[in-house]
Structure 1
Amino acid sequence: MPMHFLTERSTSGSKRIIAALFEWSWVSVQNECPFLASAGYGFVQVSPPHEHITGDAWWTSYQVVSYELQSKRGSRDQFAAMVEACNAYGVRVIVDAVLNHMTGLDSGKSVTGRSFTHYSYPGTYSSSDFHYCPTRNHAIEDYNDENQVETCELLGLADLNTESDYVRGRLAQYLNDLLGLGVAGFRVDAAKHIAPDSLANIFSRLSTNAYITQEVTDTTGLFVTKHQNVGDVQVFNYPYTLRGAFLNTGIFNLGNINDRGWLASGSANVFVTNHDTERDGSSLSYKSGNNVYVLANVFMLSYPYGTPTVHSGFAFDNDQQGAPDGNYGTCTTNGPTNGWECQHRWTPIVGMVGFFNYVGSSPLTNVVTTSNNQQLAYGRGSSGHVVINNADSAWQITLTTGLADCSYCDVVSGPKSATGCSGAVITVKGGSFDVLVPPRQAIAIHAGASV
């Protein structure tokens, strides 16, 4: 039986895409929200706002010292101003919320100078508020053991006793504080490591409706199934499958991704990459060659499955490296800027955000593949059409489409302008169109970009 509490099953409204601005400061996010709104993003996911340990590495943000809104990305006042400004532009804020654990250090000081030890966080938690599972160093030893996964320490991080009424109430207090500032929802970090009943109890204490998506790094389906009634679940099979298809096996069978026994589309949060998978190499990333990262985003933003999150991070040389030069978020063009990759601004991705918003729930139609397994085309009812060529040679084909006879801008190569198309023009005549797609390229047309 589904659980009933104040959560939303999907991002709401006609603009549902989430831009994850990884490690951006609150001032920088605030400055970027006018662009996000104009590009058609409905939500911005921000990094954890809580007080955390010191250090330049990106992961210091995920080691909690207290729930005061003071981090390397800014102050409480700056956070509140960012949320208010983004809401005014119609871009709702989703917070990356760390609810499973505190720090992995024996002792130390926070970014504000607050002292702590591994199991004592003055004013927040004491030693009685943690799990102490009976393994060596309280660590997870068997990731197939549900009890260990939910009660033992992940990577040495002090694991909160989320069965405790006090801990549940304290976490809900933190989330309600954020909701009171106008936040729209939460991406729950390490949700796999919190029992679903505990999460449900915490969310039942929320003061208002909130969108919930959960990080559940599971490909077996066991943990995903357990968490699907708590909120949306991030489907890690999705980026892993895209990586395999675009780099190895071919993209021909991506057209049946709805038939793989994964979560129902309405419960799935999907992504091409995130801050973890781009660093461990398990997904495509900005470093992937042959334009496949762009092609995978074209697929995600055109195929009718899940709520998409577009990751936007920074360039890195190793998996520990933090944001560049203490400069937390800069994009002044549609490409990389000052060490920031700015993927959410890339011309093809922005074009596909508009495509996604326009086609809405239009059905998948006219799926076409080729014998080389590296080419895929499909329509979205009478609203749009996409052609993806992952081969090393050009693809020339005539395709049947539900689009009306007209000329359309290819939004992958450039947006519609006041005078026409800034990129390629595709003409539909008699219910079909001829197209020549260069190697490792894609085209996408929709009825909202006709000329």
Structure 2
Amino acid sequence: MNRLISKGVAGFRIDAAKHMWPNHLMGIYADLDSLNEKYFPGAQRRPFIFQEVIDNGKNEEAISAFEYTGFARVTNFIFGTELAQVFLRNNPAKWLVNWGSKWNMPQSEDVVVFIDNHDNQRGHGGGGGVLTHRDPKRYKMATAFMLAHPYGFTRVMSSFNFYRFISDQGPPHNDYMSIKDVQWGNDFSCGCGWICEHRWRQIYGMVAFRNVVHGTDILNWWSKDNYQIAFSRGDKGFIVINADVQDLNLELQTGLSTGTYCDVISGELDGENCTGTIVKVNGTGYAHFHIRSRSDDTMMAIHIGEKIGEQRRVTTLQH
């Protein structure tokens, strides 16, 4: 591992960490070098480490994710299964007001979070019960919430297609078994068997949202009935999600400064124009949102980096 660090590696995923004694892992991590300053100049930084610890929070196994926190991050498998229940409308979205450790999950600084991963989207590694690219509408809502909320260190999935009942099927390949190149169209979406969720406009727009609002708190929480929610991230961003069967059509307090913003779910800022929906925030911070329940994208999000008439912020990737 130190040899890899010397060559510029910045971190490690520890597979099957739950099958290793925590104190042994702590001993290994303690002997790791700081990152190579040739590639990471400035103050010495430790490698980023996260550990695969499958724990669904149901006390079905002897090993708990909490045994592996405090010295490295762990994979939070509860995260995706609980959000799936919300966006499948089996558990009210309004209860997400206290989303995080109060849902029997580790502290934010101890976890890597995801909607699905290579195991559980196939029914392995903690089982199924998660949203995947096969249910794109709900998957995009759950991913948007994940990227808008400050809990955890987020990871976005990028998949290839596989037959439902052949879960060990490999990636798209040519006749002589070499892996097919990724091909994409003008909208950056992939083809030839590649799914590439990270290229979906709704997802990469929310990755930028997360970078812009990094370090801010949740403010202006709002909910209506069970499945319509909204909140701001400080005075930098605002998101509205309509998981209900009813349309959402009203004014909400965004916490943002007055001006015209581009919704990053439907488009982006292009010069002085929006390629998607325009949202106007008035002098008191309110803006009107109309989200039809039957539309493909049942959420809207705005942030200060997509505001017309101001210099666009260039942000450093944080998550």
TM-score range (shorter-chain normalised) is 0.7 to 0.9
Which residue in 2 is equivalent to 1:380? 233
Is residue 2:93 matched to residue 1:271?
A: no
Structure 2 residue identity aligned to 1:235: N
Instruction: Determine the C-alpha separation between the residues in 1 that align with 2:183 and 2:215.
Output: 31
Query: Which secondary structure state, in structure 1, belongs to the residue aligned with residue 12 of structure 2?
Result: strand
Instruction: Determine the C-alpha separation between the residues in 1 that align with 2:189 and 2:229.
Output: 27
Which residue in 2 is equivalent to 1:59? none
C-alpha contact (below 8 Å) 1:266/1:306 kept by paired residues: yes
| TM-fit CA distance, 1:183 | 1.2
Which residue in 2 is equivalent to 1:310? 156
Query: Which secondary structure state, in structure 1, belongs to the residue aligned with residue 191 of structure 2?
Result: coil
Which residue in 1 is equivalent to 2:84? 243
| TM-fit CA distance, 1:203 | 1.5
Instruction: Determine the C-alpha separation between the residues in 1 that align with 2:180 and 2:93.
Output: 36
| TM-fit CA distance, 1:328 | 5.6
Instruction: Determine the C-alpha separation between the residues in 1 that align with 2:241 and 2:180.
Output: 34
Map Cα deviations across residues 297-318 of structure 1 (whole Å, 9 max, x no partner): 1001101101100010101102
Q: Normalising by the residue count of structure 1, what TM-score does the alignment of the two structures yield?
A: 0.59
The size of the alignment, in residue pairs, is 275
Once the two structures are superposed, the pairs formed by residues 105-184 of structure 1 within 5 Å of their partners are 175-184=1-10
Q: Which runs of 4+ in 1 moved over 4 A?
A: none
- Relative to structure 1, is the Cα distance of residues 329 and 376 closer, same or farther in structure 2, using a 3 angstrom cutoff? farther
Instruction: Determine the C-alpha separation between the residues in 2 that align with 1:316 and 1:329.
Output: 16
C-alpha contact (below 8 Å) 1:409/1:450 kept by paired residues: yes
The structure 2 residue matched to 1:330, chosen from 174, 179, 182, is: 182
Which residue in 2 is equivalent to 1:201? 27
Once the two structures are superposed, the pairs formed by residues 52-451 of structure 1 within 5 Å of their partners are 175-208=1-34, 209-220=46-57, 223-247=64-88, 248-258=90-100, 259-280=102-123, 281-288=128-135, 291-317=137-163, 318-325=166-173, 326-327=178-179, 330-333=182-185, 334-371=188-225, 373-429=226-282, 430-439=284-293, 441-451=298-308
Unaligned runs of 5+ in 1: 1-174
Instruction: Determine the C-alpha separation between the residues in 1 that align with 2:17 and 2:116.
Output: 18
Name the % identity. Answer: 35
| TM-fit CA distance, 1:392 | 2.7
C-alpha contact (below 8 Å) 1:297/1:349 kept by paired residues: yes
Instruction: Determine the C-alpha separation between the residues in 2 that align with 1:336 and 1:369.
Output: 35
Query: Which secondary structure state, in structure 2, belongs to the residue aligned with residue 355 of structure 1?
Result: helix
Which structure carries more helix by proportion? 1
Range moving further from structure 2, 278-287 or 203-212: 203-212
| TM-fit CA distance, 1:214 | 1.0
Q: Normalising by the residue count of structure 2, what TM-score does the alignment of the two structures yield?
A: 0.82
Which residue in 1 is equivalent to 2:39? none
Q: Please provide the CA RMSD for this pair.
A: 1.6
C-alpha contact (below 8 Å) 1:366/1:401 kept by paired residues: yes
Which has the higher Rg, Structure 1 or Structure 2? 1
Instruction: Determine the C-alpha separation between the residues in 2 that align with 1:309 and 1:256.
Output: 21
Structure 2 residue identity aligned to 1:415: E
Instruction: Determine the C-alpha separation between the residues in 1 that align with 2:94 and 2:154.
Output: 21
Which residue in 2 is equivalent to 1:107? none
C-alpha contact (below 8 Å) 2:182/2:190 kept by paired residues: no
Structure 2 residue identity aligned to 1:300: M
C-alpha contact (below 8 Å) 1:196/1:230 kept by paired residues: no
